[in-house]
Structure 1
Amino acid sequence: MTHTLRDLNATVEQLWPTRFAEDWDRPGLTSGDLDDQVTRIHLAVDAVAQTVGEALNIGADALIVHHPLLLRGVTSISTEHYKGSLLTRLVRGGCALIAAHTNADIVPGGTSDVIARRLGLQDVTPLVAGERPGTGLGRVGRLPVPTTLGRLTLSLAEFLPATATGIRVSGGYDTPVTRVALCGGAGDSLLGHESVLRADVYITSDLRHHPASESREQALVSSGPALIDVSHWASEWLWLDEAAGELRSALPGVDVTVSELRTDPWDFVVTQ
Structure 2
Amino acid sequence: MSFSLNDVTRVAHDLWPLSGASGWDAPGLVTGRSTDPISAIHLAVDAVSDTVDEAIAVGADLMLVHHPLLLRGVVTVAEDTYKGALLARLIRSGCALLAAHTNADVVVDGVSDVFATRLGVLDPQPIEAGTDPGTGIGRVGRLAEPTTLGVLARRLAVLLPATASGVRVAGDYGDAITTVALCGGAGDSLLRHPAVLAADVYITSDLRHHPASEAREQAGVAGGPALVDVSHWASEWLWLDTAAAQLRAALPGVTVTVSEIRTDPWDFVVTQ
TM-score over 0.5 (shorter chain): yes
CA offset digits 1:157-198 (Å, max 9, x no partner): 111000011000000000000000000000001000000000
C-alpha distance in 1 between matches for 2:210 and 2:119: 28
Residue equivalent to 2:206: 206
Query: What displacement does 1:202 show?
Result: 0.1
For residue 229 of structure 1, what is the aligned residue in structure 2? Answer: 229
Q: Is the 8 A contact 2:248 2:254 kept in 1?
A: yes
Equivalent residues in 2 for 1:73-92 (5 A)? 73-92=73-92
1:141 matched residue in structure 2: 141
What pairs up with 1:61-76 in 2 under 5 angstroms?
61-76=61-76
Cα offset for 1:20?
Answer: 1.5
The residue that corresponds to 1:106 in the other structure is 106
Q: How many percent of aligned residue pairs carry the same amino acid?
A: 65
Q: Which residue type is aligned with residue 125 of structure 1?
A: Q
**Quick check: 1:46 aligned with 2:42?**
no
Cα displacement string for residues 184-226 of structure 1 (whole angstroms, at most 9, x for unaligned residues): 0000010000000000000000000000000000000111100
Q: Aligned equivalents of 1:79 and 1:119: distance in 2?
A: 42
Instruction: Give the count of matched residue pairs.
Output: 272
| 2:240 aligned with 1:240 | yes
Shift of 1:122: 1.6
**Is the counterpart of residue 94 in structure 1 residue 72 in structure 2?**
no
Q: Distance in 1 between matches of 2:46 and 2:123?
A: 32
Gap regions ≥5 residues in structure 1: none
Q: Secondary structure at the match of 1:161?
A: coil
After superposition, the CA RMSD in angstroms is 0.6
> 8 Å contact 2:44–2:51 — kept in the other structure?
yes
The answer to whether residue 27 in structure 2 is matched with residue 32 in structure 1 is no
Alignment deviations for residues 100-153 of structure 1 (CA, whole Å, 9 cap, x no partner): 000000011111111111122123210000011000000000011000000001
Q: Distance in 2 between matches of 1:112 and 1:13?
A: 18
Rounded to whole Å, the distance in 2 between the matches of 1:142 and 1:83 is 42
Residue 249 in 1 paired to residue 249 in 2?
A: yes
Which residue number in structure 2 is paired with residue 217 of structure 1? Answer: 217
> What is aligned with 1:123?
123
Q: Secondary structure at the match of 2:67?
A: coil
Amino acid at match of 1:199: A
Q: Separation in 2 of the partners of 1:127 and 1:81?
A: 38
Residue in 1 that maps onto 2:196: 196
Work out whether 1:269 is the aligned partner of 2:269.
yes
Distance in 2 of aligned mates of 1:60 and 1:234: 23
In structure 2, how many angstroms separate the alpha carbons of the residues matched to 1:144 and 1:183? 19
Structure 1 segments of 4 or more deviating over 2 A? none
DSSP 3-state at the match of 1:142: strand
Q: 1: distance between equivalents of 2:12 and 2:52?
A: 19
1:205-257 per-position Cα deviation (integer Å, ceiling 9, x unaligned): 00000000000000001111000000000000000000000000000000000
In 1: Cα distance, 2:30 partner to 2:7 partner: 15
Cα distance in 1 for residues equivalent to 2:69 and 2:131: 26
What letter is aligned with 2:5?
Answer: L
User: How far apart, in 2, do the equivalents of 1:17 and 1:123 lie?
Assistant: 22
| 2:157 counterpart SS class | helix
The answer for the alignment partner of 2:58 in structure 1 is 58
Distance in structure 1 (CA, Å) of the matches to 2:238 and 2:195: 24
Contact 2:121 2:143 in 1 (8 A): yes
